Amino acid sequence: MNNSTNKKTGTVIPLMIVGVMFFVIGFGIGISGFLIPALKSAFNLTTAQSYLVTAAIFSAFVIFGRPTGWVIKKIGYRKSMVLAFFIMALGMLMFVPSSNAVSFPLFLLALFVGGIGNTLLQGAVNPYVTILGPLDTAAVRMSLMGIMNKLAWWIAPVFLGIFIDLKDVQVADIILPFYIVTGILVVLGISIYFAPLPEVKAEGEDDESGAGESSYAAGKTSILQFPHLILGVIALFLYVGIETLPMASIIDFARATFGDVANLESYAKFVTLGLVLGYVFGVITIPRFISQTKALISFAILGIISSLLLIYFPPKYAFYAILLISFSNSLMWPAIWPLAIKDLGRFTKAGASMLVMAIVGGAVIPLIFGVIVDTVKTTEVAIVSDYQSAYWVLIPCYLFILYFAISGYKVRTKK
């Protein structure tokens, strides 16, 4: 692997800097999870309509996923990260006129713009972390980044909860926190521009002739000629959906389970706790005790079992299965990404952009979940059994990820 990181800088400082970026990415997703019940209450939305909040963010990934590969190729990883911060800041700033106009479509537009910045940032930081060191320890580096990312998932709703009361949502209350977030993003963008963040290259990435690439990549003329990547994109699409769903639905599910108790937003910690525990497990055990591939298989099976517990257990006990589901989800991103991007050579950036497009699963799966809830409910307000029925959407997703972990990624090695 050709890595431009010099001995003096090493990988520690770049990983610390990129960790801040993963925190920002998580904060953006955490905000969406909090805004779903907030805007649902403020605008009298149905369950399906409220999940348009998540769809607005994640639809940017499928629309701008491929162009991110072109941008990164033109200006490099670091400058792409800087540009991403400024675009995200613009999206956050747009919440102010959206609040003043009390307009749900304008809120969706602001979330979409923020999603464009998130798309570019994801397209830059994920391959960067994968390439920064040996491939067999990529899941460890990604797990460390995941801890930062998921801590932000928890901090985001807690931060917004200071300004917004879920029981009495006032759209005008959103203005101040998003001014603050905008300022932070601008400062971070400027800081990253001057940060000691070296450029890195995958093997054969800059060789348009294909020389120096693996035998698998040599002679390929299109990114679509890598079947293991296509399967990886599908697996990542499903994974992001089932990772986002607990965060997007947990407050509604908690309300249906426990009623309108105080501090409903605090239930988001169950999702974060499960994910962080899983990442810590990955850092400790991969590859010392278990390979990242076997970890993916094990956690996919655990995801299936956890989903069945969530669906069939009595409500008050089923609620805590979400923690186990989040634990199951933790190592999937760190494991799927390096398996899907392996041996792409000069197609690495294009492959990364396709994987970024797969993040749109975070919009599609929760939206399907919301439609199911609205379809099966027999009362005006969905009850806990309606949510449990809708959680069946998790099962086929975990089954496909299990297939990818067992044999799907191996099509790269088959003649």
Domain boundaries of the chain, sorted by first residue: 12-200+219-413
Q: Taken in order 332, 338, 344, 350, is the CA torsion positive or negative?
A: positive
pLDDT at 403 (0 to 100): 95
- Rounded-to-integer distance, Cα 120 and Cα 111, Å: 14
Query: What's the token pair of residue 326?
Result: 């989040």
Answer yes or no: is pLDDT of 2 > 70: no
Structural class in CATH, domain 12-200+219-413: mainly alpha
CB-based contact 370:387 (threshold 8 Å):
no
- Rounded-to-integer distance, Cα 410 and Cα 403, Å: 10
- Taking residues 330-359, what's their average pLDDT? 81
Model confidence pLDDT, tens digit, residues 169-184: 666 777 787 788 888 8
Model confidence pLDDT, tens digit, residues 43-73: 777 767 776 777 777 788 788 878 887 888 8
pLDDT band at 32 (very low <50, low <70, confident <90, very high): low
Q: Which residue has the higher pLDDT, 276 or 163?
A: 276
- Taking residues 217-243, what's their average pLDDT? 84
Amino acid at 162: I
Model confidence pLDDT, tens digit, residues 61-119: 788 878 887 888 888 888 888 999 899 899 888 888 887 777 888 888 988 898 898 88
pLDDT at 86 (0 to 100): 93
- Max mean pLDDT among 44-58, 151-165, 224-238, 283-297 falls in 224-238
Q: Kindly report the CA angle at 342 between 340 and 345, in degrees rounded to 5?
A: 125
Tokens 């989903």 belong to 307
pLDDT at 288 (0 to 100): 80
- Max mean pLDDT among 144-158, 168-182, 370-384 falls in 370-384
- Rounded-to-integer distance, Cα 86 and Cα 99, Å: 21
Amino acid at 149: N
Single pTM value for the model: 0.73
Which of 240, 238, 232 has the alpha carbon at shortest distance from 352?
Answer: 232
- Taking residues 273-299, what's their average pLDDT? 85
- Rounded-to-integer distance, Cα 6 and Cα 265, Å: 44
Measured between alpha carbons, how far apart are the two ends of the chain, in Å?
A: 24
pLDDT at 97 (0 to 100): 86
CB-based contact 162:82 (threshold 8 Å):
no
Q: What percent of the chain has pLDDT over 70?
A: 83
Using CA atoms, how far residue 133 sits from 10, 15, 139, 280, 395, in Å, is 10, 10, 11, 19, 34
- Max mean pLDDT among 71-85, 136-150, 335-349 falls in 71-85
- Rounded-to-integer distance, Cα 87 and Cα 236, Å: 24
- Rounded-to-integer distance, Cα 300 and Cα 302, Å: 5
Neighbours of 174 (CB within 10 A): 23
pLDDT band at 36 (very low <50, low <70, confident <90, very high): low
Amino acid at 383: I
pLDDT at 34 (0 to 100): 64
Length of the chain: 415
pLDDT band at 415 (very low <50, low <70, confident <90, very high): low
Question: Inter-axis angle of helices 138-161 and 268-285, to 10 degrees?
Answer: 160
- In sequence order, the 6+-apart residues with CB closer than 8 A to the CB of 393 are 242, 245, 365, 368, 369, 372
- Rounded-to-integer distance, Cα 119 and Cα 85, Å: 11
Q: Which residue has the higher pLDDT, 405 or 22?
A: 405
pLDDT band at 211 (very low <50, low <70, confident <90, very high): very low
Q: Which residues of 253-284 are buried (b: 16+ CB within 10 A; e: fewer)?
A: bbbbbeeeeeebbebbbbbbbbbbbbbebbbe
pLDDT at 399 (0 to 100): 96
